[in-house]
Structure formats: C-alpha cells, structure tokens
Structure 1
C-alpha cells in the first residue's frame, strides 16, 4: 500500500528531528529577540532584575542532567513532546505577566522546556541517525534552524512595526505555535522503539573525558561570543539596532548555505581536521577582536564567528563514533550540563575584566581556543568506541577485539 505524504512524515525519525528543531527555534527566537525591549518598556526592569532573570534562565541548562532522572519514568519521545509544550507555554504566557515574579516563573517554565528539548534533540539525533549520514543531516538541521530564526525575525518585525501587535500577543502567537506543534506531534507521530535500551543512570565515564573537556571549552567560548562580541560592536563602534538587524539577517542566510556544506566536509575529511580548523579559526577571530579598529572588519569577524558555531556539530559526530550506543542519552545530558557550567561564572568574571580591558577578554577567548586546538590533536583520525583518543593505542584495541 502506497504511503501518503502525511504517513511518510509521521513515520520518519528525521522528520521528527526537524519538528523538534523548528518548534525550539520559533519559541526561543521570539522570546529572546523581544526580551530586552519588553523588560524595559513594559515590565520596567532594572539591571539587577534582568540579571536575576538571565541567571534563572541558565539554571535549567546547568541542571540538564536531570533529564535522565525523568527518563526513568517517561519515554524519551513523550518527554520531547512535553518539553516542546513547556517551551511554548512559557513563551506564550510571558507577555501576560509583566512583573518580576511573573517573568521569573514564565522564564523558568520556558527554560526547562528549551533545555530539556535541546538535550533530547542531541540525544535522539545521535541515536537515530546513521554515523555515515549524521554530519550531513545535522548540517541540514542547523540550516533549518537558521532559516526558522530568520523567518521568526521577519514576522516579528511585520507584526510589531506594520500591524502594531502588542508584545503579549506576539509572545502568544509564537509560543502558541510551538505548543500546538508539540501537541500535534504527540498524536500524529509513530512511537519509535529504542533500537538500543538507554542507560538510565547518571555516569561520567572516563572514556569520554576528551569529549567532556572540549564541550566545557566550547561552552566558555560561546559565553564570550554571546555576551561580549555584540557588546563590542555597540560600545566601541556605536552600531545601532538597524545595522545589528542587518547583520543578523546576513548571518542567517550564510548559515543556511554553509551549514550543510560543513556536514559534507566532516564526512569527507573527518572530525579531527574539522575541529582543528574550527579552533584555529577561533584563535584568529578572537585575537582580531582584541585589536580591531575598523567597523567593517568587526562585522566580518562577527559573521565568521557565527559561521564557526555551525561547526559545533563536529563534537556531536565525534561523540557518536566513540560512544557506547546505550550511553548516548546519559552522556548527552551530562555534556549539556558541562556546556553550561561556564555560563554561571564566566560572564560575571569577564565583565570585571572588561572594565579593565576589553581586549583582554578576547585574548582569554583566544587562549581557550588554543587549548581546544591542542586537545583536538588527541582526536583520532578515525575515532571509534574503544579508540576515543590517540592516547589509546590502536593496536591494543585491535588485540582486545581479536
């Protein structure tokens, strides 16, 4: 019997990964892009209140490991749907509670949904995708993520500038979309059985130490970019909101084109070379940030830095190759927590450094990139389970398998 288009979609694991990505981007992009203006113009937040809100937003990321505890009582796929709905609900309610307590509560709801969904997205991607195809599919997912974010940005601009829609209804539209998408996916998609039963206990395995360490350093690098790169453009070069919008548009379009090609590059040349190129690029970008005096060069650095974000899929495919299949859920949750450790202390510490020298902040970023580059040399040319780093002798692995 010939399958209908809807049947092909609802029985496809890859299609569900796309649904997860789109639902995540639609709500979080809307929440994030409106946040600063909404908290100032409607909620009348001061600096301390926005600081508390941002700290509360990061706590669920730090506690992402708890997803394993929840998976002991609920299947991964159902938790995906609940996470999408929590993300959508938290976003949809944001505009209706413009008070400190109200925004703190809706932020926590949104953030739990977002961080659980992001953790499960990584876990299921690595479980469901074939190792030979995963870099290509992950690249396409990154491109879809960029396109969805661009579309959200355009729609928000139209709704608020041409249709004069209030903040609370904009939040409701995008949050409601994700909530309904999660609910529809729950009822429409086939429940996919686990090919490998996942470990339901939290374990930090020594075999994955290099993956964990590179993940921590990637989280530190992310914080430096997210917090200080855009701030440099505004503070040092006086870039206004209109030019920042144009920059984000260009970045999204470039990512839609480049991300799938990065996936193909990984398939052809492997994780070790790709990671080396990423970290080498980061060193150059951060050193250049430290001494840039031209706004045009600063724009170019911002775009290149964003493009290097797309290469983050390399760490995922490296882990997929070295991991015991039953460890993927547990290790994904642990790695997501590790990735957020830097978010707790680094912005505050480097904020103090910024007062002394903004160049020094980016030099520290370059040092982090250098350490990552040095560690990337420990990634085997052809990593596999049992041969996680070059410190493990390949002949020992072969003799143990014999």
Structure 2
C-alpha cells in the first residue's frame, strides 16, 4: 500500500504542472487557486478521527488509497480548470485521509521494539516507489510517446490495484491499543504547531510555484522536468546519511535555523531569476533544503 500510494500521488504531483500549463493554459493565478482548493481536504483531515468511530481504520485506509488512484487516473481526461480542480480534489481527499490512517495503523501494528526498523522500511519502499514512478513516467514519455492521459491512467491504476490488494487481506485483528476519537491540542507544543504552519507555507513555494516557474517562464518540457526531479531524488538519497550525521552533531534546532536562513536567498532569487540554468540550480538547492 505504501508503494501504491507513492506511485499514485507522485505521478499526479510531478506531471500536473506541465499538464495544466500545456493542455489547460494555466497561468500563475490558476495554479495558485487550484492548490488552494487542494489544501481544503488537508485542513479538514482532522475529521478522520470521527470516521474511526463508525468504520474500521484499515478499511478506511484502503478506501482513501483507492481515491488517490481514482483522482490521478481521471486527471488526464479533463484538461480544463474545472476538470482538473475536481479530479485533484478527489485525489487530495484520498491522500490526506489515507496518510492520516496509514500513520496511525503503522504505530498500532508495529511492535515497539521493532517499530523504528519497520518504519524505516516503509520509508525505503515509499522512496523506491517514488523513483520508479518518476523514472517510469519519463520512459513512457521518452520511448513510448505516451500522452498525459495514459501516464495518469497507468499511475492511478497502480494505486487502485494496491488498494484492491489491501482490501483482499480482509480485516486484521484489533491491535488492542486504546484510541481516542477526539482532537488533542497541547499548549506546550505551540512551537511545533508554528513550525508546521510555516513548513506548509514553504512547501507550497517548492511544490507549486517553483515548478510553475520552470515550466511557464523557461519552457521546461515534461521529459526534462522529470529528469530534474529524478536527479533531486537521487541526490537526496546520497546526501540523506550526511544530513542525518549533521543533525546528530549540531542538533535539530540549528539544522532548522540553517534551513530557513538558506531558503531566504533562494526564494528571493526565484522572483528575479532570468537565466534557465540559475533557475534549475535554485530548484535543486530548494529541494535539498526541503528534505532537511
């Protein structure tokens, strides 16, 4: 299911900017408003706790995983603002609710003594599936001349297939863990809430407007865009151990300070850059800071 969710979401995320600009003639206002709509399900994801009181969590996770695939699969058939907004909303509801339930189930089912290792394997599988999805999409465009709708359909189909497999396992026995079906907020965690808020705002710059800059202003086609994203993912895998050692030595606080200070010039140059290779370099640096 982790691999399926990665394929379904990554195919949508990495293709939709080029698709929106090339096929639906999106401008900056269109792409910005579209992603504002996309975040509404994320804002409402707290309601996931109420559904658990009625339905089994495992079934909910599988259902919303299928929604990710459905939204992705349908995207290429509707190259209009309304069409993309609707299919994106389907995908977004699936993604935000699936992630909520998947994280909860992992913490419930993984034994405490093995949880770090097993969670690490989940991240590894997700990362490998991400690279396969990006590389596979590039191959389909480069060597098989697939159109957008077909690549979206393949990516969404893989995600739906993963949901079918998950559904086929049936209901696993209860973990015995006592769960709360309410919202918990703690005043002492205000700093974490604030950092999460700013991280969400920063994420929109990287995920939404940086790719749009490359596609709209500098005309980066889908094949080159996928290669750039693939390079970013490989660099992240190579540098991740170094980042981990850096955090261990200097601490999370200093690492966050370096990250946010480093982002200031990157975002400033995003606004004034006129040279393609500089924009590409900024995108790569932004991605590296994004993974800190």
Task: Give the TM-score taking structure 1 as reference length.
Answer: 0.60
Return the match for 1:28 from 5, 9, 25: 9
SS in 2 for 1:202: coil
Match of 1:160 in 2: 141
| 1:39-54 alignment, distance < 5 Å | 39-43=20-24, 49-54=30-35
Q: Which residue of 1 aligns with 2:37?
A: 56
Instruction: Extract unaligned runs of 5+ from structure 1.
Output: 1-18, 312-402
Contact 2:68 2:159 in 1 (8 A): yes
Equivalent residue number for residue 163 of structure 2: 182
Q: Is the CA contact (8 Å cut-off) linking 1:84 and 1:114 kept in structure 2?
A: yes
> Do structure 1's residue 220 and structure 2's residue 201 form an aligned pair?
yes
Determine if contact 2:35/2:208 at 8 Å carries over to the other structure: no
Residue pairs, 1:150-299, within 5 angstroms: 150-188=131-169, 191-230=172-211, 238=218, 240-241=220-221, 244-259=225-240, 269=248, 273-287=251-265, 290=268, 299=280
Any conservation in 2 of the 1:26–1:178 contact (CA below 8 Å)? yes
Q: Distance in 2 between matches of 1:121 and 1:169?
A: 28
Using the TM superposition, give the Cα deviation of residue 167 of structure 1 relative to its aligned residue in structure 2, in angstroms: 2.6
Deviation at 1:185, TM superposition (A): 1.3
CA deviation map 1:166-207 (0-9, x unaligned): 332222211111111111112126615234221101232324
Shift in Å at residue 115 of structure 1? Answer: 1.0
- Are residues 131 and 85 of structure 1, via their aligned partners in 2, closer, same or farther at CA, if it must alter by over 3 Å? same
* Aligned 8 A contact 1:88 1:178 in 2: yes
**Residue 243 of structure 1: how far off its partner (Å):** 5.4
Q: Which has the larger radius of gyration?
A: 1
Write the distance in 2 (CA, Å) between the matches of 1:121 and 1:97: 29
* Aligned mates of 2:72, 2:203 — CA distance in 1: 23
Aligned pairs, number: 288
- The 1:46–1:240 alpha-carbon spacing in structure 2 relative to 1, beyond 3 Å, is closer
For residue 106 of structure 1, what is the aligned residue in structure 2? 87
Secondary structure, aligned partner of 1:63: helix
Q: Does the CA contact (< 8 Å) of 1:95 and 1:172 recur in 2?
A: yes
Give the 3 Å change call, closer, same or farther, for CA 207–139 of structure 1 in structure 2. Answer: same
Conservation of the 8 A alpha-carbon contact between 1:76 and 1:120: yes
The reply to whether residue 84 of structure 1 matches residue 41 of structure 2 is no
Q: Which has the higher contact order (CA 8 A, sep 6+)?
A: 2
Residues 12-23 of structure 1: pairs in structure 2 closer than 5 A: 19-20=1-2, 22-23=3-4
2:54 corresponds in structure 1 to 73
Deviation at 1:283, TM superposition (A): 1.2
TM-score, normalised via structure 2 length: 0.79
